[in-house]
Amino acid sequence: MRSAAETRAVLVTGASRGIGAATARAFAAAGDRVAVHYGRNRDGAEQVAAALPGEGHVVVGADLGDADAVRRMVDAAADGLGGVDVLVNNAGLFVAHPIDETSYDEWQRAWHDTLAVNLVGAANVTWCAVRHMGKGGRVVNVSSRGAFRGEPGQPAYGASKAGIIAFGQSLARALGPRGITVTAVAPGFTETDMAAEELVGDTGVERRAESPLGRVATPDEVAAAIVFLASADAAMASGAVLDVNGASYLRM
Is 142 domain-assigned? yes
Is 3 domain-assigned? no
Is 179 domain-assigned? yes
Is 1 domain-assigned? no
157 is catalytic: yes
Cβ atoms of residues 190 and 208 within 8 Å: no
Alpha-carbon dihedral 26, 29, 31, 36, rounded to 10 degrees: 50
pLDDT along the chain (252 residues), means of 10: 75 98 98 98 98 98 98 98 98 97 98 98 98 98 97 97 98 98 95 76 86 93 98 98 96 88
For 18-38, letters b (16+ CB in 10 Å) and e give bbbbbbbbbbbebebbbbbbb
Q: What is the pLDDT of residue 21?
A: 98
CB-based burial label for 66 (10 Å; 0-12, 13-18, 19+) = middle
Q: What is the pLDDT of residue 197?
A: 78
Is 252 domain-assigned? no
Is 4 domain-assigned? no
pTM score, whole prediction = 0.95
Q: Looking at residue 158, which CATH number applies to its domain?
A: 3.40.50.720
Domain that holds residue 49: 9-244
Catalytic residue, from 38, 104, 157, 249: name it.
157
Catalogue the long-range contacts made by 105-110 (C-beta closer than 8 Å, 24 or more residues apart): 110/156
Give the total number of structural domains in the chain: 1
Q: What is the pLDDT of residue 198?
A: 74
Q: What is the pLDDT of residue 193?
A: 75
Cβ atoms of residues 13 and 65 within 8 Å: no
Amino acid at 87: L
Is 134 domain-assigned? yes
Q: 232 in helix, strand or coil?
A: helix
Q: What is the pLDDT of residue 7?
A: 94
Q: What is the pLDDT of residue 192?
A: 78
